[in-house]
Homo-oligomer: A and B are copies of this chain.
Amino acid sequence: MKRTEINELGEFGIIKRINSKFENVHKSTVLGIGDDAAITSSDKELILISSDMLIEGVHFDLSYTPLIHLGYKLVVINLSDIFSMNCYPNQILINLAISNKFSIEAIDEIYKGIKYACDDYNIDLIGGDTTSSMSGLVMSCTVIGYGHKKQISYRDKAKVDDIICVSGDLGRAFLGLLILQREKSKYLDEPKNQPDLSKYKKLVEKQLRPEARKDIIDYFKSYKIVPNSMIDISDGLSSDLLHISNSSDLGFKIFEEKLPIELDTYSVSRELNIDYLEAVLNGGEEYELLFSIPVDKFDSLNLDNIDITPIGHFTKNKKRSIVQKNGKEIELNSKGWKHF
């Protein structure tokens, strides 16, 4: 494969190269890359904005993370923050700090992933910065979306008796990470053994190339429903449910037997000799949506073709509990997803 050094192109050359591959589609994009600031415009009253970083050695390990997936994931985890407000993201800005050990072709791979995500989710890349780094790869993304006042789902507006629901299933992103780490150390011990990950495909995919749940927001829209509260699960179900609980000043009761868990979550947890509930409750980076809606609205939903699962409800008393399969009620505490 061809290798072009970064300094052959320089900063402006890189910007031009990136820019040539992206085309703006939103009418809300007034001015994209190329001036001091980007400009957008919207007929909606509210502007939503969020920003997140991914750091080599902290959030990802390049020895098992394809650059193209990394670019995709960077965008998706940021989009997820706008979807979790029940709004649609329109634009992103990307900052990339990259060391000279990377080639231009490596940068191309990252932006290929970014472009796939932009195409999949209908997003314009409107700005950012590419600079050198003395050590690892650092990426930050800022995402902008727009919404009407009555459309927003906050963390602090959950109501008593609201049904607590979660999209998708839980635990697989965390197990995918453990599998990748195990296979890496096996490989380091015995470089001749190429890891066979086919058995763990869905877990590894969820870790390396998560999707944001735009389809859930589409679904709400089709029902004209605005969840009373919503958050995306990035720190783990426990931690994120506690965020809503704290912000809304309510307790909750969820039921272990209702938690959406796939068969491979059980089997791989057994294989790795860990409690599957640890992965399900405290595994981060799911990017599923956790939300609450009133009982009557929940009853009006047709859940046949959508992976939404009710797992419990919010309560007036401040107890935060999970009812185990044996019927015993215990307090749910958060171990969450610690970066430090």
Chain A interface size band reads 35 or more
Report the separation of the CA atoms of residues A100 and B339 in the bound assembly, to the nearest whole angstrom: 11
**A292 touches B (CB below 8 Å):** no
Which B residues touch A178, using CB under 8 A? none
Q: Which of A11, A91, A128, A133 neighbours the largest number of chain B CB atoms within 10 Å of its CB?
A: A133
**A48 touches B (CB below 8 Å):** yes
Q: Which of A10, A51, A57, A127 neighbours the largest number of chain B CB atoms within 10 Å of its CB?
A: A51
The answer to whether B53 touches A47 (Cβ under 8 A) is no
Report the separation of the CA atoms of residues A15 and B321 in the bound assembly, to the nearest whole angstrom: 26
**A181 touches B (CB below 8 Å):** no
**A119 touches B (CB below 8 Å):** no
Name the distance in Å between A68's Cβ and chain B's nearest Cβ. 22
Name the distance in Å between A320's Cβ and chain B's nearest Cβ. 16
Report the separation of the CA atoms of residues A182 and B18 in the bound assembly, to the nearest whole angstrom: 37
The answer to whether B49 touches A38 (Cβ under 8 A) is yes
Q: In chain A between 83 and 141, which residues have their CB closer than 8 angstroms to a CB of chain B?
A: 84-85, 87, 91, 93, 95, 97, 100, 126-129, 131-136, 138, 140
Q: In chain A between 236 and 276, which residues have their CB closer than 8 angstroms to a CB of chain B?
A: 247
Which B residues touch A84, using CB under 8 A? 36-37
Map CB proximity to B onto A37-60 as digits: 1 under 8 Å, 0 otherwise.
111111001111111110111110
If A11-B338, A35-B85, A340-B6 touch, does A47 touch B47 (CB 8 Å cutoff)? yes
The 10 closest A-B pairs by CB, nearest first: A57-B134, A37-B50, A135-B135, A36-B81, A36-B84, A37-B48, A140-B140, A142-B142, A51-B93, A53-B95
Instruction: Give 23 A-B contacts (CB < 8 Å), ordered by A residue.
Output: A11-B340, A30-B46, A34-B155, A34-B247, A35-B85, A35-B156, A35-B247, A36-B82, A36-B85, A36-B155, A36-B232, A37-B85, A39-B46, A40-B46, A47-B144, A49-B49, A49-B91, A49-B142, A51-B93, A53-B129, A100-B340, A138-B138, A140-B140
